[in-house]
Amino acid sequence: MRNQKNLALANSRPKGGNESRLNATYLDAIKTLIENQWNSYQPFWFITIQWSPAPTTFTHASDHARHFRNKFLCAIYHCDLRQLPKPQDRCKLIWFHERAQDPRGRLIYHSHLHLTSVPQVTTAHHLQWIIARRVAPGFHCLKHLNRKIDPGVVIRHWNHDHHAFYNLKDFYRFQHHQDSDLIVDVQMSDLMASK
């Protein structure tokens, strides 16, 4: 029991030496990747999604993102998954899953979606309608869309100064926790090479 406490204490302390330099190198590489993405395909929308119930692992948040992405793209392009345009020919979805502590002290996730312009969608209200009417039905984790305080989905116009590196703050806060390197959801994101 005492060894477990000592191990937990040692794992909670900030790390130093080579590991910090590796983290800085890794963060610089991620910043470059993200900046290249924004320069090539600048997002138009910044969407915050509060999943309900909140996932407690990155993998679980990524599974929600996959389901959202599939339903959203099918709704936008009015087709089946097999008929979707190729990634280079459709709107781009870049996912980040941010950690926070719930009132009980557990680490939980919510998601930020950086979305390029969407065909035939010009207003946040229209985008909100698509999510509420085409994506949310049957999707048990998209609740509270119409809640006045802390709604399940918040849509804003993307602003480079505020949103470009918004999710990197999560790296600094949690870099000494498990899975600290999971900043961007590479598997669910439409990361494209520079133009």
Q: What is the pLDDT of residue 98?
A: 87
Cβ distance 78 to 84 under 8 Å? Answer: no
**What is the C-alpha to C-alpha distance for residues 3 and 6, in angstroms, rounded to an integer?**
5
**Tens place of pLDDT per residue across the chain (195 aa):** 444 444 443 344 344 333 444 466 767 777 788 888 888 889 999 999 999 999 999 899 999 999 999 999 999 999 999 999 998 899 999 999 988 888 888 889 999 999 998 999 999 999 999 999 999 999 988 987 878 888 899 999 999 888 877 777 655 555 555 444 457 888 899 887 655
Q: Tell me, letter by letter, the H, E, C secondary structure of 90-106.
A: CCCEEEEEEEEECCCCC
Can you give the pTM of this predicted structure?
0.79
Answer yes or no: are the C-beta atoms of 110 and 104 closer than 8 Å.
no
- Number of other CB atoms surrounding residue 103 within 10 Å: 5
Q: Which value, to the nearest 10 degrees, does the dihedral of the CA atoms of residues 66, 130, 108, 170 take?
A: 90
- For residue 193, is it within any domain? no
10 Å CB burial of residue 174 (0-12, 13-18, 19+) is middle
- Looking at the structure of the chain, the number of domains it has is 1
Owning domain of residue 156: 13-174
In a domain, 53, yes or no: yes
The answer to whether residue 96 is domain-embedded is yes
For residue 157, the one-letter residue type is H
User: Do the domain assignments include residue 91?
Assistant: yes
